[in-house]
Amino acid sequence: MQNSSTTPQQRPRSLSRRLRRGLAIGGVATLLLGFTAACGGGDSEADDGKVTLTVATFNEFGYEDLLKEYMDLNPDIKVVQKKTGTWEEHRDNLYTKLAAGSGLSDIEAIEGDGMPAILEESDAFADLSDPELEDRWLDWKTEAGTNADGQLIGYGTDIGPEGICYRADLFEKAGLPTDREQVASLFESWDSYFATGKEFVKAMPDTAWYDSSKGTSQAMINQLEFPFEDEDNNVVALENPEVKRVFDTVTEMQGAGLATNLDQWSNDWVAAFQKDGFATMACPGWMLGVIEGNAEGVQGWDIANAFPGGAGNWGGSFLTVPTQSEHPEEAKKLAAWLTAPEQQIKAFTAKGTFPSQQSALEDPVLLESTNDFFNNAPTGQILSDRAQAVTMQPYKGPKYADIITAFQAAILRVDEGQETPDEAWESFSADVERIG
Amino acid sequence: MTLHPPPAPAGDVTASTSPAGPPAETRPRRPRLTARQRLARWDVRLSPYLYISPFFVLFALVGIFPLVYTGYVSVHEWSLIGGKGEFVGLDNYRSVFEDRYFWGALRNTLSIFVLSSIPQVVIALALAGLLDTALRGRTWWRMSILIPFVVAPAAVTLIFGNLFGDRYGLVNAALDLVGIDAIAWHVDTLASHVAIATMVNWRWTGYNALILLAAMQAVPRDLYESAEIDGASRVRQFVSVTVPMIRPTVIFVVITSTIGGLQIFTEPRLFDNVGLGGSDRQWQTITLYLWELGWRLRNLGTAAAVAWLLFLLIVIIAIVNLVLSQRIGAGSRTRTPGRTLGRTRGGTP
C-alpha cells in the first residue's frame, strides 16, 4: 500500500478506516451468525417464562379455537399451531426431521395409514399410555396406535366411518328408490350394490355408478383383516386370494361401465361432481365436506345408513409426542386434552372431524347434528351407527401405504385402458417385488 | 517466467544473504515495518479474499459438503428414519441400474428437458429480440413477460392441471371445437411430457428473455447502424449481429436451463395427486424417482445414489451443451459482425 504513510495527521483517518473495516467484518459475521441462528429454529422457552408448545397438523383438525381455549385455561403455556396442507407434505417434513433428530413439533399429528410406519419407529416417540385414558377410544382405534410392545404411541383423534353418499335426483331418473331407508337396503352387500349399479348404468348410460375405482377398491380393502401383510409383516399381497378378488371385482365392474375411470382427487374427478359424472361414492365422515365443496350448487345429494359388506373405516388420525420434544409432559397433557370427548365434539362442530371416543359417539350434540346439503340427513346419527358397526380394522404393516398405492395404480391403468386386468396384475406383482 | 535469479540490485538484500553479512537486526538499508504497515500489507493481500469469502464459505456449507456427504450416504444402507446402516459399496448404484423405473425416469427427464429447454431458449431469444426494438410502452412489455415467473410453481401447476384435464379440461374443450379428438394428457406419455413442458416454458421463458434482453442492451448500437446502412434486414441483423454478440449470455442461459430442466420436480410432482408420475409412471422424472426412493420407500441410500447419478448426468449434458453452443457461436464468430457486413456490402448493390 503505497500511500499508507504514518504521518501523524493521517492517523485519525486511518483509525476510522480501521473502525469501518472492523464494522464491515463484524457485519458479515453478524449476517452469518444470523443465518445459522435462523436455521437453528427458535427457543422453546419464551422470555416471559411460559412454556411454548408447538402442534403440527395437516389438513383440518378443527383445533384453532380449542388451542386458544387451552391457553386461557393454562396461562403458563403458549401453544403454536403449524398447519400443513396435506398429509403427504406433513409426512415428508416429519420423516426428514425424525432422521435429522431435531426440529419436530412437541405434538405431531399422524394419519392413520401412516401410523404403521411410525410404530416401527416407536423409539422416537413418547409412550403415552395412561391408565386413566384406557377406555376413552374405540378399541380398534387404540389398537392402531399401539405398538407390538403394548406402548401407546398415538392418541386417537378422528375416524372415518363410511356410509354411501348418493344422488337422489339421479336415482329418481333411473327409476331407483330415493328414500334413504329404502336405498340403504340396496347397499347391504357388495353384490347388491354392484347389481343396483348395473341397473343404474343401463338406465343412465352417461353417468357412472361410483366416483372412482380407487375409492371403491380402498373401501373393499378396508374390510380385509390382513390385506397385504401378515402379523409378522411378511408381504402376502400377492398370495392373498381376497386381494385378488377385490382386484378382479373392481376391474370387472369397470368393464361393466360402473366406474368413471377417473383418478380420485384429480381435477377431472373434482369436475365430475358438477357434471353428473357419477351417482354414488363411499363416504367417510370427512368426505361430506369434500362433496359439499366440490358439488356446490348441485341439488340431490343424500347419505344412506348402510355400507356394503357390513362396515368400514377410512382414515382418521393420531396425535403423537416425539421424544425430541423438550416438554414431553406438557405436550402429553395437551394431546390428552385435545383428544378428550368434549374437545373432539367441538372439533367435529368446527370442521366435521368425526370423533373416535366412546362417549363422544353418544354425545347429543353429535347425534342430533344434521346436514342441510345432504337433504337434512341426520349425519351424526348415521355416522355414529356406522362407527359402532365397525368391528375390526385391517392389519397395516409398515409397507401398507406403499403397496396400496401400487395396487390402486394398477387398477387405474385398467381404467385408463393402458393394460388389461391380467397385465395390470402382472405389473402390480412386479411392483410388490420391488417394494419387497 | 525465467529461471535465472534476478540480477541483484546494488547494495540491497544481497548483503543479508551473504553469510558474512551483518545480523538482520542491524540491516541498515531497509527500515523495519511498523505494525500498521505490516497490517496494511496483510490488508492488501488478504482483504480481497475476505470480501469474496462469504460466497465460498456458504458454497462449502450448502454445496460441497452435501455433495460429499450424499456420496457417503450412497455407499451405505441408509434408512430415512433409522439412519445409517452397513457399508454396501456400490450395491445401491447397482440396484438403481437394475430398476426399470430408473430407466423410465431417465427417458422422461430427457424428453421433458428437450421439450422444455429448446423451445424455451429459442422463444426467449426471439422475445428478447422483439423487446429490444423501439416498441411503444417498452417497459410495460418487458415487465409483463416476467409475470409468469412471479407466480408460485405450485399455483402454475394447479392452473395448468385444470387446463390439461383429460375429460373436462379447457385445452381438450378447445381442441374439440376445431374437431380434434380429446388428448389423454394424464395417460399418454408424450402428451403428459408436452403438458409438463408447457408449464415449465410458461414460467421460465420470460425470465430467460429478460436476461438475454439485458445482454442485448449492451450491444453497441453503431453496429446496427452500419448493418442498416449495409442493407441488412431486421432478421439478418438479429442473426448476424445480436446473437453472436451475446453468445456468453446465451451459453449461461443454456446451462442454467439445463440444470433446471434436469432437476424438474414441482410440475411433475403436482401433475397428479399421487406424485409418482402417473399410473404407469409416464411422467416420473429422476427427481421424482429420487423422492419416491427416499421418502416413499424410505431408502436414503439408493436415493443418494440417484442424486449422484443425476449430478453426473447434469455435468455431462452441460458439457455437451457448452460444446454445442460454443460451436454454434464459433460458427458465427468466423463471420464476425464486421466481416459479415463486409461481405454483405460486397454482395448487395
- Three-state SS letters, B290-321: HHHHHHHCCEHHHHHHHHHHHHHHHHHHHHHH
State how far the alpha carbon of B243 is from the alpha carbons of B128, B213, B311, B328, B339, in Å.
Answer: 11, 11, 30, 10, 15
CA distance B21 to B19: 5
Min Cα separation A431/chain B (Å)? 10
Query: Hey, which residues does A156 pair with through a beta bridge?
Result: A318
Average pLDDT over residues A77-96: 90
Min Cα separation A263/chain B (Å)? 9
Task: Measure CB to CB from residue B279 to each of A28, A124, A418 and give the nearest one.
Answer: A418
pLDDT digits (tens, 9 = 90+) for B198-256: 999 999 999 999 999 999 999 999 999 999 999 999 899 998 999 989 998 998 998 89
Average pLDDT over residues B139-158: 88
**Which of A282-291, B10-19, B94-103, B126-135 shows the lowest per-residue confidence on average (mean pLDDT)?**
B10-19
pLDDT at A172 over 90: yes
CA distance A154 to B149: 42
Average pLDDT over residues B250-263: 90
Phi, psi of B85 (to 5 degrees): -120, -145
More reliable by pLDDT, B340 or B177: B177
pLDDT digits (tens, 9 = 90+) for A383-399: 999 998 988 889 998 89
Size of interface A-B (CB pairs under 8 A): 94
| Nearest-Cα residue of chain B relative to residue A32 | B54
Distance of alpha carbon A45 from the chain centroid: 31
pLDDT at B330 over 80: no
The percent of residues in chain A predicted with pLDDT above 90, rounded, is 74
Angle at A231 between CA A230 and CA A236, to 5 degrees: 10
Q: Provide the chain A residues 257-316 that lie in CB contact (below 8 A) with chain B.
A: 262-268, 271-272, 275
Nearest partner of A185 among A173, A176, A198, judged by Cα: A176
Cβ proximity of A133 and A143 under 8 Å: no
Q: In one letter, which amino acid is B27?
A: R
Is some CB atom of chain A closer than 8 A to the CB atom of B186?
yes
pLDDT at B275: 87
Q: In one letter, which amino acid is B86?
A: E
What are the cell numbers at A380?
A: 351424526
| Nearest-Cα residue of chain A relative to residue B159 | A267
DSSP per-residue codes, A207-231: SEEES-HHHHHHHHHTT-SSSSB-T
pLDDT at A41 over 80: no
What are the cell numbers at A126?
A: 413418547
Distant-in-sequence, close-in-space partners of B244: CB < 8 Å, separation ≥ 6: B329, B332, B333, B335, B336, B337
Residues of A in contact with B83 (CB under 8 A): 99
* Confidence category of residue B307, pLDDT binned at 50, 70, 90: very high
Q: Identify the residue whose cell numbers are 409378522.
A: A232
CA distance A431 to B280: 11
**Exposure class string for A13-43: b at 16+ Cβ within 10 A, else e:** eeeeeeeeeeeeeeeeeeeeeeeeeeeeeee
Does residue A415 sit in helix, strand or coil? helix
| Nearest-Cα residue of chain A relative to residue B37 | A4
Min Cα separation A219/chain B (Å)? 18
User: Is the CB of B161 less than 8 angstroms away from the CB of A267?
Assistant: yes
* Confidence category of residue B61, pLDDT binned at 50, 70, 90: very high
pLDDT digits (tens, 9 = 90+) for A243-266: 999 999 999 999 999 999 999 989
Query: What integer best gives the mean pLDDT of chain A?
Result: 89
Residues of B in contact with A16 (CB under 8 A): none
The whole model's pTM is what?
A: 0.81
Does residue A277 sit in helix, strand or coil? coil
Residues of A in contact with B156 (CB under 8 A): none
User: Is the CB of A6 less than 8 angstroms away from the CB of B54?
Assistant: no
pLDDT at B338 over 50: no
User: Is the CB of B44 less than 8 angstroms away from the CB of A262?
Assistant: no
Angle between helices B300-333 and B247-262 (to 10 degrees): 160
* Confidence category of residue B7, pLDDT binned at 50, 70, 90: very low
Q: Provide the chain B residues 247-276 that lie in CB contact (below 8 A) with chain A.
A: 272-276
Residues of B in contact with A265 (CB under 8 A): 273
User: Is the CB of B273 less than 8 angstroms away from the CB of A268?
Assistant: no
pLDDT at B8: 44
Largest CA distance in chain A: 107
pLDDT at B10 over 60: no
Is some CB atom of chain B closer than 8 A to the CB atom of A73?
no
Residues of B in contact with A19 (CB under 8 A): none
Distance of alpha carbon A56 from the chain centroid: 13
Phi, psi of A376 (to 5 degrees): 60, 30
pLDDT at A36 over 60: no
pLDDT at B290 over 80: yes
What are the cell numbers at A172?
A: 329418481
| Nearest-Cα residue of chain B relative to residue A98 | B81
Residues of A in contact with B169 (CB under 8 A): 267-268
Min Cα separation B26/chain A (Å)? 22
| Nearest-Cα residue of chain A relative to residue B98 | A434
CA distance B152 to B203: 9
Q: Provide the chain A residues 139-168 that lie in CB contact (below 8 A) with chain B.
A: none
pLDDT digits (tens, 9 = 90+) for B44-53: 999 999 999 9
Task: Work out whether the CA dihedral A418, A421, A423, A425 comes out positive or negative.
Answer: positive
pLDDT at B340: 42
Q: Provide the chain B residues 113-152 that lie in CB contact (below 8 A) with chain A.
A: none
pLDDT at A436: 78
Min Cα separation A432/chain B (Å)? 12
Radius of gyration of chain B (CA): 29
**Exposure class string for B224-252: b at 16+ Cβ within 10 A, else e:** bebbeebebeeeebbebbbbbbbbebbbb
Average pLDDT over residues A333-353: 92
More reliable by pLDDT, B108 or B135: B108
Query: Hey, which residues does A377 pair with through a beta bridge?
Result: A371
User: Is the CB of A99 less than 8 angstroms away from the CB of B80?
Assistant: yes
pLDDT at B321 over 90: no
- The DSSP letter of residue A418 is S
Distance of alpha carbon A75 from the chain centroid: 31
How many residues are listed for chain A in this entry? 436
Output the 3-class SS for chain B. CCCCCCCCCCCCCHHHHCCCCCCHHHCCCCCCCCHHHHHHHHHHHHHHHHHHHHHHHHHHHHHHHHHHHHHHHHCEEEECCCEEEEECCCHHHHHHHHCHHHHHHHHHHHHHHHHHHHHHHHHHHHHHHHHCCCCCCHHHHHHHCCHHHHCCHHHHHHHHHHHCCCCCCHHHHHHHHCCCCCCCCCCCHHHHHHHHHHHHHHHHHHHHHHHHHHHHHCCCHHHHHHHHHCCCCHHHHHHHHHHHHCHHHHHHHHHHHHHHHHCCCHHHHCCCCCCCCCCCCCCCCHHHHHHHHHHHCCEHHHHHHHHHHHHHHHHHHHHHHHHHHHHHHHHHHCCCHHHHHHHHHHHCC
DSSP per-residue codes, A386-403: HHHH--------TTHHHH
Query: Hey, which residues does A107 pair with through a beta bridge?
Result: A55
State how far the alpha carbon of A409 is from the alpha carbons of A214, A241, A283, B161, in Å.
Answer: 8, 19, 21, 19
* Confidence category of residue A65, pLDDT binned at 50, 70, 90: very high
User: Is the CB of B43 less than 8 angstroms away from the CB of A1?
Assistant: yes
Average pLDDT over residues B157-185: 93
Largest CA distance in chain B: 102
Q: What is the ipTM of this complex?
A: 0.80
CA distance A366 to A372: 15
Query: Hey, which residues does A152 pair with through a beta bridge?
Result: A146
pLDDT at A85: 82
Min Cα separation B262/chain A (Å)? 22
CA distance A377 to A291: 14
Cβ proximity of A198 and A256 under 8 Å: yes
| Nearest-Cα residue of chain A relative to residue B278 | A409
User: Is the CB of A409 less than 8 angstroms away from the CB of B99?
Assistant: no
Task: Measure CB to CB from residue A99 to each of B83, B184, B276 and give the nearest one.
Answer: B83
Is some CB atom of chain B closer than 8 A to the CB atom of A230?
no
Nearest partner of B317 among B106, B123, B119, judged by Cα: B106
Nearest partner of B156 among B266, B34, B43, B28, judged by Cα: B266
pLDDT at B164 over 50: yes
More reliable by pLDDT, A183 or B297: A183
pLDDT at A148 over 60: yes
| Nearest-Cα residue of chain A relative to residue B84 | A99
Is some CB atom of chain A closer than 8 A to the CB atom of B38?
no
Task: Measure CB to CB from residue B81 to each of A14, A98, A266 and give the nearest one.
Answer: A98
Task: Measure CB to CB from residue A4 to each of B40, B276, B280 and give the nearest one.
Answer: B40
Distant-in-sequence, close-in-space partners of B165: CB < 8 Å, separation ≥ 6: A266, A267, A268, A271, B171, B172, B185
pLDDT at A13 over 60: no
| Nearest-Cα residue of chain A relative to residue B54 | A28
The percent of residues in chain B predicted with pLDDT above 90, rounded, is 60
What are the cell numbers at A208?
A: 357412472
Cβ proximity of B116 and B200 under 8 Å: yes
Query: Hey, which residues does B228 pair with through a beta bridge?
Result: none
pLDDT at B343: 39
Q: Which of B274, B288, B293 to mutate to test the interface with A (most CBs of A within 10 A)?
A: B274
Distant-in-sequence, close-in-space partners of B153: CB < 8 Å, separation ≥ 6: B203, B266, B267
Bridge pairing between strands A162-167 and A354-355: unpaired
Nearest partner of A4 among B30, B42, B48, judged by Cα: B42
CA distance B161 to A268: 9
